[in-house]
Amino acid sequence: MITIGIDPHKSSHTAVAVDAAGRQLAQRRFVVNAGTVRQLMRWCEQWPERRFAVEGAKGLGRGLAQQLAAAGEHVVDVPSTLSARARLLATGGDRKTDAADALHVAQVALFRDLRKVEPEDQSTILRLLTERHDDLVNERTRIINRLHAVLRDLLPGGAPTRLSAEKAAALMKGIRPSTATDCCRRDLARDLLADLRRIDRQVRDNEAQMRDTLAAARTALTALPGLGTVLAAKLLGHVGDVTRFPTEHHFASYTGTAPLDASSGKNTRHRLNTGGNRALNAVLHIIAVCQIRDGRRGQDYYLRKIAEGKTPAEARRALKRRLSNVVYRALRRDRHMSFAEAA
């Protein structure tokens, strides 16, 4: 089996082929254009039994890795941290070239169990839609804050909190500017109101796309208390293939809800996990807060932890850990049902 390590860049990709012992067999640099993958595959025809190792297959190497995976090639993702460590061990310093980086990428793939790159599916679409949703919501918040600032100078007492486009339009109907400066403020408020209405339409369209994609995914996540369309889309988008987590404990570690062992000597203790996927951690936090507030089963668990002497923050973290298990089992059921239907 020949391993082909690839160091991707915006303008070029450097490939190095190594044998099973890690010895370099050949190398080549490819200029990035419409025919890059075709040229790479033609060069690799001399090794029928091959696999590809792409550095940063979720980042700069995403396009190449996905094209290779779509072509039926075996592709693994090599994190840049691992290739950097291999380079440091090999050279004893940070001196690097593209060819040397590609060689180290291939050598890492030989001796590490790495994640296989799968062709993008609906989970990727959901992640893109949720990222766009976050951008739109942030932009909406910025516009509302700016509109508040302008209305504060036009209306006695300013605008109320939880301002919406309809509320702002009703308030602006009663504005009678008395100076040229106030006329300018009114015009700015009208522009901001138009921006707000545009963003609201885009948010509604984005959420409609999420609902359609979730319906195609046929997930039961939205049946869980406190888990709506946007949160379910975030979970599916960031988790992807749940079978890459062997157990619920691995999944909890990925979501950052499993405490870290910080024991030393005879002292056994754990500390808060500030790592993991923070987007998933935030989703589980929102679900926990909603269940605590709305009196769901999560509230009973939360109150039981409080009765055991835990602080509210500690009890909430314990609930998040429990919810991580619930979400994991729901995702596994969805996966099992999809396989059963396919069969």
The domain boundary, picked from 182, 217, 252, lies at 217
The domain boundary, picked from 197, 217, 237, lies at 217
- What's the confidence (pLDDT) of residue 164? 93
312 in a domain, yes or no? yes
The domain boundary, picked from 217, 250, 282, lies at 217
For the domain that residue 7 is a member of, what is the CATH number?
3.30.420.40
As a whole number, mean pLDDT of residues 336-343 equals 63
Gap between the Cα atoms of 287 and 289, Å rounded: 6
Report whether pLDDT(94) > 70: no
Query: What range does the domain containing 60 cover?
Result: 2-111
> Do 79 and 32 lie in a common domain?
yes
> Do 287 and 335 lie in a common domain?
yes
- What's the confidence (pLDDT) of residue 268? 65
The per-type count for the chain, helices as H runs and strands as E runs, is 12, 7
Convert the pLDDT of each residue in 103-126 to its tens digit. Answer: 999 989 988 888 888 888 888 999
Question: CB 4: neighbour CB atoms within 10 A?
Answer: 28
203 in a domain, yes or no? yes
Residue 3 or 340, more confident: 3
> Do 268 and 317 lie in a common domain?
yes
> Do 99 and 164 lie in a common domain?
no
305 in a domain, yes or no? yes
Confidence category of residue 90, pLDDT binned at 50, 70, 90: confident
> Do 273 and 312 lie in a common domain?
yes
Number of domains in the chain: 3
As a whole number, mean pLDDT of residues 307-330 equals 92
- What's the confidence (pLDDT) of residue 338? 67
Q: Contact 277/254 with Cβ under 8 angstroms? A: yes
Report whether pLDDT(133) > 90: yes
> Do 276 and 336 lie in a common domain?
yes
Confidence category of residue 340, pLDDT binned at 50, 70, 90: low
> Do 338 and 252 lie in a common domain?
yes
- What's the confidence (pLDDT) of residue 80? 86
DSSP-derived secondary structure letter, 245: S
As a whole number, mean pLDDT of residues 145-173 equals 91
Gap between the Cα atoms of 122 and 219, Å rounded: 12
Closest-CA residue to 119 (of 65, 54, 174, 188): 65
Single pTM value for the model: 0.80
